[in-house]
């Protein structure tokens, strides 16, 4: 039996999970949910009701995107040593520092910026979030990925959030002259991996 992934197409945490699962070559059954009408079985498996959720064949439930990421990396590393390197202490430490800042600070400001009705306040949140973008841009000034001279899991885990932020007001983003970050963003947007995980699926009938 394949693992089941409860997902929501545009959710950045779910995009993160789908990209890693696909990159790691893990075959899974996708269940697209409407956040306004979550399947009972999904809520039974994880009452907190967030996506993504991965249900493993032995009914083990992973309901945090980073748990799904590490489960996929460990599973696939048995056959491809490249993924094992992602878990090396130094790379892992630097990656997690960025991902935690993304999830705990940048994402909060992103939501405030994106959903704030007061234009002045929105600009204030955008300004506060900008320093993280500049840091990412700086990291990309002499290497292809955020933590190494190639794309690793931190790039995949953070990209969906930068994408969301950039497209709130793409003209503003372009005016920031975050050229390295914009190139990195465009490479992801044009990748087969991203196009594949963004394919539309009918809502899971329950």
Ligand X SMILES: N[C@@H](CCC(=O)N[C@@H](CS)C(=O)NCC(=O)O)C(=O)O
Work out how close the CB of 79 gets to ligand X at its nearest, in angstroms, rounded to a whole number: 26
Is there binding between residue 11 and ligand X (CB under 6 A)?
yes
With respect to ligand X, which residue has the nearer C-beta, 52 or 145? 52
Work out how close the CB of 106 gets to ligand X at its nearest, in angstroms, rounded to a whole number: 13
Question: In angstroms, rounded to a whole number, what is the distance separating the alpha carbons of residues 154 and 94?
Answer: 9
Question: In angstroms, rounded to a whole number, what is the distance separating the alpha carbons of residues 80 and 55?
Answer: 23
Work out how close the CB of 8 gets to ligand X at its nearest, in angstroms, rounded to a whole number: 6
Is there binding between residue 49 and ligand X (CB under 6 A)?
yes
Question: In angstroms, rounded to a whole number, what is the distance separating the alpha carbons of residues 113 and 101?
Answer: 17
Report how far apart, in Å, the C-alpha atoms of 3 and of each of 10, 14, 46, 52, 195 are: 21, 15, 15, 12, 22
Do β-strands 29-32 and 4-7 pair in parallel, antiparallel, or remain unpaired? parallel
Is there binding between residue 64 and ligand X (CB under 6 A)?
yes
Work out how close the CB of 22 gets to ligand X at its nearest, in angstroms, rounded to a whole number: 17
Q: If we measure between CA atoms, which residue out of 74, 139, 121, 131 comes closest to residue 101?
A: 131
Size of the site for ligand X (CB under 6 A): 10
Segment contacting ligand X (CB under 6 A): 48-56, 76-84, 159-167, 186-194?
48-56
Residues 6+ apart with CB under 8 A from 131: none
- Choice from 35, 43, 108, 198 touching ligand X (CB under 6 A): 35
Do β-strands 53-55 and 61-62 pair in parallel, antiparallel, or remain unpaired? antiparallel
Work out how close the CB of 52 gets to ligand X at its nearest, in angstroms, rounded to a whole number: 6
Task: Please report, as residue ranges, which positions from 146 to 205 form the binding site for ligand X (by CB under 6 A).
Answer: none
With respect to ligand X, which residue has the nearer C-beta, 61 or 87? 61
DSSP H or E stretch at residue 117: none
Q: Where on the chain is the footprint of ligand X (CB under 6 A)?
A: 8, 11, 13, 35, 49-52, 64-65
């Amino acid at each position: 039996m394949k693992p089941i992934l409860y997902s929501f197409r545009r959710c950045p945490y779910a995009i993160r999970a789908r990209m890693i699962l696909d990159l790691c070559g893990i075959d899974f059954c996708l269940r697209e949910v409407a956040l306004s009408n979550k399947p009972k079985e999904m809520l039974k498996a994880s009452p907190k009701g967030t996506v993504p959720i991965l249900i493993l064949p032995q009914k083990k439930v992973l309901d945090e995107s980073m748990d799904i990421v590490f489960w996929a990396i460990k599973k696939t590393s048995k056959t491809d040593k490249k993924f094992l390197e992602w878990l090396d202490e130094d790379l892992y430490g630097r990656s997690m520092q960025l991902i935690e800042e993304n999830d705990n600070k940048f994402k909060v400001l992103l939501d405030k910026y994106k959903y704030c009705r007061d234009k002045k306040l929105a600009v204030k949140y955008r300004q506060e979030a900008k320093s993280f973008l500049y840091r990412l841009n700086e990291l990309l000034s002499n290497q292809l990925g955020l933590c190494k001279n190639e794309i690793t899991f931190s790039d995949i885990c953070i990209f969906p959030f930068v994408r969301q932020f950039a497209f709130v007001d793409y003209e503003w983003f372009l005016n920031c002259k975050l050229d390295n970050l914009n190139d990195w963003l465009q490479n992801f947007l044009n990748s087969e991996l991203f196009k594949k995980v963004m394919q539309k699926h009918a809502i899971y009938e329950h």
